[in-house]
Amino acid sequence: MKTQAFLPLITYPEANADSVAANATAMAAWLGADLHATSIDVETQRGWDAWLRVLYVELPELIREAEKVSRERGRHLLELVREQAANRGVNLTTSTAAQPLLGEIIAEHARYFDISLLGWEPGNPACRSTAQAVAFGSGRPLVLLPVAVETRTVSHVAIAWDGSRVAARAVADAMPFLERASRTTVLTVIDEKPLKDKGGAERLVDGLHRRGIAADAVLVKQEGSSIGSSLQEHALERQADLLVMGGFGHSVIRDFVVGGATENVLDDLRLPVQLSH
């Protein structure tokens, strides 16, 4: 059974960078996954036109131009994904979806796949809202692929472990990565909050060993940094290719309340990160 990966392509107001095509297809190739790329084109709600035209006569033309730009960006990104998938031997299907509520629609699409891949760019609010929608609304794991990092293979996985439910969910979701990687490091921050199970990292390592996964446990301290920064710094120091962590947060009427560790990572993403909720 092949893993089915979903790649939503953001087109508006700021489109994904071109590098998302290479990074996502490289990740799919390494996982041995089929990839489904969907261009999410912006679509306004036409019911607004009549009364808004009274206030702003140029609005209809601005709307048409925005939708045109979105479609053109979507076609461009899909073509890049096709080229990269052909080069890497990835089985690819593509589609387009024109929707007004991008985050919610993308989360709904993601529920029909095993994993979602999302290009991540700092300062792009559409990336952030989409990541939050998929992480907390899809019920599936999400891998964020930072634009500044070239994705190749994942030989070393770092796990952020605190013994929580969402951390356990993240580890279960990460099994396709853990089974393929040659090394796994379990990172536990010991000075951020009281840990119910102080030996939890070693227990997780024992469980991974029983599954044939090479792993070790490392206890780390924040040392003045945010928890998200500390986890990424220690993962990068050990040359990890992927950080696996639980996504803390919940949605309230389409607005997302995000936990501290998740917020820190989204603010400063320095390596691919799998979020699970």
What is the C-alpha separation between 56 and 59, in angstroms, rounded?
Answer: 6
Tell me which of 3.40.50.620, 3.40.50.970, 1.10.150.240, 3.40.50.2300 is the CATH number of domain 156-276: 3.40.50.620
8 A C-beta contact, residue 116 and residue 134: yes
Tokens, residue 221: 């301290």
* Each residue's pLDDT expressed in tens, for the chain with a length of 277 residues: 899 999 999 998 889 999 999 999 999 999 999 999 999 887 665 545 555 555 555 666 777 787 888 899 999 999 999 999 999 999 999 999 876 556 678 899 999 999 999 999 888 888 888 888 899 899 999 999 999 899 888 999 999 998 889 999 999 999 999 999 999 999 988 766 656 666 889 999 999 999 999 999 999 887 767 888 888 999 999 999 999 998 764 444 334 434 456 666 777 789 999 999 8
What is the C-alpha separation between 218 and 48, in angstroms, rounded?
Answer: 55
What is the C-alpha separation between 168 and 80, in angstroms, rounded?
Answer: 36
What is the C-alpha separation between 194 and 253, in angstroms, rounded?
Answer: 31
8 A C-beta contact, residue 217 and residue 202: yes
CATH for 4-146? 3.40.50.620
4-146 against 156-276: fold identical: yes
**Domain spans of the chain, in order of start:** 4-146, 156-276
* pTM (predicted TM-score): 0.87
8 A C-beta contact, residue 56 and residue 48: no
The one-letter amino acid code at 133 reads A
Q: What is the DSSP letter of 145?
A: E
E-assigned strand segments in 90-246? 92-99, 115-120, 142-146, 156-160, 183-189, 215-220, 242-246
Max CA distance (Å), the chain: 68
